[in-house]
Amino acid sequence: MTKDEWNRALQGRFDHPDAAWELALMQDQFKELRLEVDRLDRRDREQAKELDVAYAAVRALRALLVEKGVVEAETLSSRVDEALDDLRPPAPLPPPSAGGSPYRDAPIVQVVQLTRCIDCKQELPTSETNVVADGNLCDACFARR
Ligand SMILES: [Zn+2]
């Protein structure tokens, strides 16, 4: 097939009423998708900005509270820890075992959530960290701040 023949065939295809209609429909859908992607992009950027503002506000408040002697840094951190613990979903129930109570017979599984200190990058249980505005700190790094 020559290039001209190919072009004519292609043209003929889109000249067909059904194909033209389908093409128009697809172009409309594509435009809508583009708009939706743009909208999500804008929303993402807006939320990132809002998060930055919230982080800055938390840092300023934390500094002010500690500076004014309203609360000690350690107390503040443990309170933030508690608040974060409340946010975590409860551990799922163990699956029932054959015969007997699923609670009595279930193996005791200790789930330790690990996190990384933002300063020294050491991994440690979340419960042993000090939460600051920009992340989790181990005790040693927390004391150095
Ligand atoms: Zn550390």
Distance (angstroms) between ligand 1 centre and the Cα of 12 equals 69
From the CA of 49, how far away is ligand 1's center (Å)?
28
* Residue 121: domain span: 3-144
Whether 109 shows a pLDDT value over 80: the answer reads no
Give just the sign of the alpha carbon dihedral 55, 58, 61, 63. Answer: negative
Identify whether the C-beta of residue 19 lies closer than 8 Å to the C-beta of residue 13: yes
CA 7 – ligand 1 centroid, Å: 67
Rounded to the nearest whole angstrom, what is the distance from the C-alpha of residue 10 to the centroid of ligand 1? Answer: 65
Cα–Cα dist 137/121, whole Å: 9
Q: What is the pLDDT of residue 137?
A: 93
**32-51 pLDDT per residue, tens:** 999 999 999 999 999 999 99
The rounded Å distance from CA 14 to ligand 1 centre is 65
**What pLDDT band is residue 21 in, cutting at 50, 70 and 90?**
confident
Query: What's the gap in Å between 122 CA and the centre of ligand 1?
Result: 6
CA of residue 66 to ligand 1 center, whole Å: 21
Residue 141 pLDDT: 94
SS3 97: coil
Measured in Å, residue 38 CA sits from the centre of ligand 1 at: 40
Angle at 77 between CA 83 and CA 49, to 5 degrees: 70
Count how many domains the chain has: 1
Choose the most confident range, by mean pLDDT, from 9-18, 48-57, 91-100, 109-118. Answer: 48-57
Q: Residue 139 contacts by C-beta under 8 Å, 6 or more apart in sequence?
A: 128, 130
